[in-house]
Each structure stands twice: as C-alpha cells, then as structure tokens.
Structure 1
Amino acid sequence: MTPAAPRSLAAPLLALLLGACGQSPSSPVEEGPFPRHLPVGMTSIPSRPDNPLTPEGVALGRWLFHSPRLSSNGQVSCATCHEQGRAFADDAALTRRGVSGRPLVRHAPALINLAWMDGLFWDGGSKNLESLSLAPLTHPDEMGNVQLPLMMARLEEQPEVVERFEAAFGTGGLSLSNLLRSLAQFQRTLVSADSRYDQWRRGEPGARLSDQELQGLELVQRHCAPCHASELFTDNAYHNNGLDTDEAFGEDEAETRGRARVSQRPEDEGHFKTPTLRNIAITAPYMHDGRLATLEAVLEHYRGGMVVSTTLDAAFQRVGQRPGLPLDDADKAAIVAFLHTLTDEAFLSAAELAPPP
C-alpha cells in the first residue's frame, strides 16, 4: 500500500464527511464491493476540529492499527487483540496475546461505532479516541512501550514509516501526536450499521424480521433500555449490573472498582461501561472480565443470577424479590434470536478495515 489512501477509500470518506450537508441516513455509501451505511438517524461521522477525517490520515491509521511495529517486541499490533472477524474484539476472557504473555485484568472490548462513544474503556478512563491508544501502547502487558521516546526512535529509523506520516501530515509529520491522531481517525471509521436489523430499519426490499425476532426486539426495548438505547444500542453510561458483592470492590482497583477508579466516588463502585449490542453474537465472552461465555449465560444472569450490592442499578431492583429481569424461557429465546440480527457481516469482512496490502 502506498502512503496515500487508495482511490476506493477516498471517495466514500469524503461522502461521509459531507453527510451533514444533506445525505440521507438511509443512502448507501459505496465503499469497495458492498454498500456502507451509518446508523439510522446519523448523517456523518463526527470528528474533532483538530483532527478531521482525511483519506491519508485514515490510511495511515489503518496501517498503524495492523502493524506490529508499534509494539516493543515487534510482534503485537492493535489488531492482535482486536480481530476484525470478531467485530474487533478478542475471544479470550483475559487475553495473553500482549508482549508479556501475562493475562490482562480486563476483557478486550469490541471496537464498534467509536465515533459516537462518550468515554472509552470499561471505566471511561479515556475521554476521546485521540488519547485512547496511549494506554495499550504503554502498558507492559499489552504493547510494552514503557518509554514512548524509544518507540518513536524506532519508527524514525524506518524511511517507509517517515514517508507514510509525511503523506498524511506533511513534512515533519512523524510525531506521537500525529500517530495518535491517525489511529483515532481509522477507529472512527469502524462503523457497523448494515446488519439485517439495519436493513429492516431502512425498509430495504426483502428485509424482514421474523415474529420471534420482532418479539425479541420488543423485549429488548422493554427490559434492556435505556442502558442499551438508541441505534447505537448503548447509553454510553456506567452501571452496576449485579456481578459482584460490595466486598469485591476495591480488591483489585483495575479489575473490580469500575468507574470508581476514575471518578473516585463510592457510588460508582462496580459500575462498568454499557457495551453496544451490535455484533454481540460474535463478541463472546461477555462482561468486563469475560466471565460469561454465552448470550444464554448473560440472560440467565439477568434473570436470576444477579448479586445484591449497595451500588446495584435501580433498574434491576425488585421489592421483595431477587434482583433481575422477569424473563421466561420463550423470552430468552426471542431476545437471543433478535440479537443475532445485529450481526453485520459486511463490517466483519470489509476490505478497507482489514490489514492493508
């Protein structure tokens, strides 16, 4: 791949950037051999004024995301723990794929529709995509660049890398800030909005949901919102969904405290970011520590396995009963059936999101 963006990527990106000027949310954006869409109601991919999407910046970010050159041992890339075929998630509960081989304390989350996310990581420890990559780049168990200047020095020694940065940002473009900007640009293009559910929402010819799937949608809207709200299927907030007792909070600050690690507020103990339900059928295992292996196990947890604690979300509390949701076996089956309609096969195989040639 040349440092500049391929011709097939430039046109659709410009179309997305101009979306706010009148593009219908149901209009396909041609990108490669299949149409790309935004979630219904969205008209453009939002970006920061100091880091607008450009074809060259996205192309550089794509190359960096898939390049092991960013790791201290030259063997681990962002994509190592965020596989496209799994909606940029990982199939291990606590992956050992980082440079150290030690297990992480959190499950690697799926990277889906990040441009609309408010707060990143399971505890919201990063406020925006421009700062997101610093943590995995420097973590000794992930990409291992404990000293970032050494990483930058390695990159500066490689003429091809310098050329790629100059193509995106001009002369002298190789810098840590531009590296973070380009990764952020690429991650903003990880847009998933062409599942069978989306096609049905757009009213495309032949798109339909079965009676059971429609029942599952109604149950999700009744029981799972507002946490899994809007076309993004997340409220971008933090909740205690009954995984642990009060005694567990604080035993390991990184693993169990959740949002309280960042906010330092006791009422946030055990609160974690609401993940999107998009592509949920292929992003197992589930929860911040990957403790639940299947969608059925997740629904069993909500039906009768929730743990009482002082910070348990009020939505799950029931007077005189165990906390949870009133779901019978038919309800569970319907919800699982609907969740499968949120799998976006085009997103999982999009050539422009895969490793560049």
Structure 2
Amino acid sequence: MNGAQFFIARLLTILAVIGCINSAAGEAIKLPLGLPPVPAAVAGTPTMRKLGEKLFFDRSLSANGTLSCAMCHIPGQGFASNQSALSIGMEGRSLRRNAPSLYNVVFKKFLFHDGREIDLAAQVWGPLLAADEMGNAGIGPLIARLRADTDYGPLFEAAFPGEGATMMTLGRAIAAYEASLLRGGGRFDRALYGGERSALTPREWQGYELFVGKAGCVACHEIGPQTALFTDQTWHNTGVAFRSGATGGKTEVRLAPGVFQNVDLAAVGLAQSGAPNDIGRFEITNAPADRWAYTTPILRGVRESSPYMHDGSLGTLAEVVEFYDRGGGPNPALDPQIRPLGLSAEEKASLVAFLEAL
C-alpha cells in the first residue's frame, strides 16, 4: 500500500468516524477492571461488532480467497500467531515482521510495529491492500464484491443504515470488533486495583516490585493509579533489530514450540537474497533518532502471544528478560533507558512469573 492510499484511507475513515459520533453513538462494551473506557465511536454497536467479527474471519477478503485477518491474529494464540516468528502472507510469503497481539489494541495511539497508523478503522486497509499480505489491488473491487454478496449486503445495511458497504464502513466494522478484544480484570488487576493482595503469589509480587523498580520495565510499560495499559504509547530502540548477519550461513529455525534447529537455508533452497533491512520507525519519519525503533507493545495476555519482539526472535518470556538483563542489543541509537540490569536468577524467574500473571 503506497503513501497516497494510506492517506486517503486514513482521511476518509477519520471523517466517517467523526460524522458517526452523534448519529450512531456506540453502545458500551463491558469494561474489565484495570482498563480505561473504550471510545464509543470506535466500539460502535453490537450489530457493527458482529459484522466486524464475520469480516475478521472471512478469507474471501483476500485477493485469492485464502487469507483472513484471523489467520495471523489467532484467537487461541493471544490474537497473534505462535507458529512462526514472522507472519505468513499471500501465497506463503514470509513477511518482515511478527504478528502483534490485538488484545486492547483499541487503546493504542500508534498502530503497527513502526507506528505508521493512528486510526484503528483506517489501519484495516493496510493489510487488505498490501501485495504480500491480503493482496487486493484496489478498494473499489473489494467493496463491489461485498455489496453484491447476498449475505454481506443486508448485514452492512443493518449495521450502517443508509450507508451499506463502503470503504469507511468496512473499516469501522472490523475496528468495532477489534475494540471488543479486551484483556483486563485478571489477578493483577484484582491485586493492584481491587485490593485483593492475595490474588498474586509472593513470587509474582516480587516480580511486580522488580518491574516497577530495579528492572525499570515500567519506564516504557506504564502502570497508572487506576488503569494499566503497559505501554507509554511511543517507540524505542532496544537493539532487537540491530544484529550482525554473520551466522556462518545457518539460521535457527523454530520447528515446534521449544524445538529449534540450526539450518543452512541456502543448502535447502530457502535462502532469501537481497531481503530489505528493517530499520523500524525511521522508515516512517526519516529521523535518525528513530533508527531500529519500534512501538512499545501492550503486555496483557503476553504469555499467550509468543514469539516476542517485532521480528519474533525471542521465543519465551525468559529469553526476553535475559535480553533486557544484558542491556538489549548495543548500537549507536540505543535508547538510553536500555542498560544492563544485573538481575539474579531468582529475580529473573520472579519477573517472568509476574509477566505470566498479566
């Protein structure tokens, strides 16, 4: 999807959302403890959310009828994908980045790993129009198919009376469904916001104290006095993307959960040459300070959404903690908040236990 298409999608969808705030005010989504209110204009109505759910799981939205949103954002896997480090797109192509979890995505101010989109309804069109993702060549043909469909025609008219299927209503429907993918009200919330201290174990409480203290995680994964989104709504260079390609010709491949094998991809005909370097937020802003910087993810439900980081390079939460304990990946633009932590083995285990309690 080129810049002009993104701009048009964003502008039209934002205008549509502004226009519907008064005429189609959203019906409240049940709010778990520890989360802020969901914006009514995004939440929409139950009819919108039901339509959005159908669209989210529908492979016919892709150019060749093989891919749906849910094939990268799998409900049973934290609305991410545990099968591969990088997402799989059109005709089995390996994409550049890992599928992020969609839990609480409605609260994110910057979407995608590089933060290139700011509107959830407009974001929908990124994957739909990307040639290596869902592969639609344009907006019009997809909307025409939906209008002509005997199921979708009435469903769009019911959800958006007088509008039916349009570029804007498709984005709003899927965004409304995604706005319902909330994760909160768990043991952490009961312990911190509900006064139920016993909801967390002593080890998990030790992990919490490390999270907000010695380990410094809270500097980026913020916890507020009444709500916790576990993100500072910005981006950082932690050094994940800054790694040498000198691996002796072999790449560690994840064959199954917890099973890895060093494979010479060239020897089996799978090596990719000329793959573009991923330099993160810099691709959007051209600001040198944004080299290898990526948005801070929300951590709720994090135990479900392995592998981790924008490139899926860390398979377990223990590996993530080890990465930060050694000071990330040193590079010229490393965020100054990333530093060696000096955690003991017990402290690392406690920190992992806390993360798993989210």
Same-fold call, TM > 0.5? Answer: yes
**Aligned in 2, Cα 1:302/1:309: closer, same or farther, shift over 3 Å?**
same
Question: Which residue does 1:337 correspond to in 2?
Answer: 353
Is contact 2:243–2:329 with CA below 8 Å preserved after alignment?
Answer: no
TM-score (norm 2): 0.78
Question: Which residue does 2:9 correspond to in 1?
Answer: none
The count of aligned residue pairs is 299
Quote the offset at 1:312 in angstroms.
0.5
- Secondary structure in structure 2 of the residue aligned to 1:167: helix
Is contact 2:318–2:348 with CA below 8 Å preserved after alignment?
Answer: yes
**Aligned in 2, Cα 1:292/1:155: closer, same or farther, shift over 3 Å?**
same
In the alignment, which of 235, 239, 260 is matched to residue 242 of structure 1? 239
Deviations 1:194-215 (A, max 9, x none): 3221232343769521111000
**Aligned in 2, Cα 1:205/1:311: closer, same or farther, shift over 3 Å?**
closer
Residue range with higher mean Cα deviation, 103-112 or 304-313: 304-313
TM-score (norm 1): 0.78
Residues in 1 aligned to 2:206 and 2:276: alpha-carbon distance in whole angstroms:
38
Question: Which residue does 1:95 correspond to in 2?
Answer: 87
Is contact 1:246–1:310 with CA below 8 Å preserved after alignment?
Answer: no
**Aligned in 2, Cα 1:239/1:206: closer, same or farther, shift over 3 Å?**
closer
Quote the offset at 1:246 in angstroms.
8.9
Is contact 1:244–1:308 with CA below 8 Å preserved after alignment?
Answer: no
Question: Which residue does 1:280 correspond to in 2?
Answer: 302
Question: Which residue does 2:39 correspond to in 1?
Answer: 46
- Secondary structure in structure 2 of the residue aligned to 1:164: helix
Query: Quick one: which amino acid aligns to residue 240 of structure 1?
Result: N
- Secondary structure in structure 2 of the residue aligned to 1:110: coil
Aligned-pair identity in percent equals 36
**Aligned in 2, Cα 1:56/1:135: closer, same or farther, shift over 3 Å?**
same
**Which consecutive residues of structure 2, in runs of 5 or more, have no partner in the other structure?**
1-25, 246-272
Answer yes or no: is 1:296 the counterpart of 2:318: yes
Deviations 1:88-147 (A, max 9, x none): 101111122x33211010101000112211110000111110211111101122111122
Question: Which residue does 1:313 correspond to in 2?
Answer: 335
In the alignment, which of 165, 169, 180 is matched to residue 171 of structure 2? 180
**Aligned in 2, Cα 1:164/1:207: closer, same or farther, shift over 3 Å?**
farther
Residues in 2 aligned to 1:264 and 1:196: alpha-carbon distance in whole angstroms:
42
Kindly report which structure 2 residues correspond to 1:98-177, keeping only aligned pairs within 5 A, or say none: 98-177=89-168
Is contact 2:43–2:177 with CA below 8 Å preserved after alignment?
Answer: no
Quote the offset at 1:52 in angstroms.
5.9
In the alignment, which of 50, 53, 76 is matched to residue 62 of structure 1? 53
Residues in 2 aligned to 1:336 and 1:229: alpha-carbon distance in whole angstroms:
17
Question: Which residue does 2:285 correspond to in 1?
Answer: 263
**Aligned in 2, Cα 1:176/1:58: closer, same or farther, shift over 3 Å?**
same
Runs of 4+ in 1 over 6 A off after TM superposition: 251-254
In the alignment, which of 319, 324, 328 is matched to residue 340 of structure 2? 324
Deviations 1:170-219 (A, max 9, x none): 13411111101111111111111132212323437695211110000111
**Aligned in 2, Cα 1:191/1:304: closer, same or farther, shift over 3 Å?**
same
Query: Quick one: which amino acid aligns to residue 217 of structure 2?
Result: C
Let me know the Cα RMSD of the aligned residues.
2.3
Residues in 2 aligned to 1:268 and 1:125: alpha-carbon distance in whole angstroms:
12
**Aligned in 2, Cα 1:253/1:232: closer, same or farther, shift over 3 Å?**
farther
Quote the offset at 1:47 in angstroms.
4.2
Residues in 2 aligned to 1:156 and 1:99: alpha-carbon distance in whole angstroms:
24
**Aligned in 2, Cα 1:70/1:268: closer, same or farther, shift over 3 Å?**
same
Query: Quick one: which amino acid aligns to residue 288 of structure 1?
Result: H
**Aligned in 2, Cα 1:136/1:86: closer, same or farther, shift over 3 Å?**
same
In the alignment, which of 201, 211, 231 is matched to residue 220 of structure 1? 211
Question: Which residue does 1:9 correspond to in 2?
Answer: none
Answer yes or no: is 1:14 the counterpart of 2:27: yes
Question: Which residue does 1:33 correspond to in 2?
Answer: none
Residue range with higher mean Cα deviation, 306-315 or 287-296: 306-315
Answer yes or no: is 1:229 the counterpart of 2:226: no
Residue range with higher mean Cα deviation, 141-150 or 116-125: 141-150
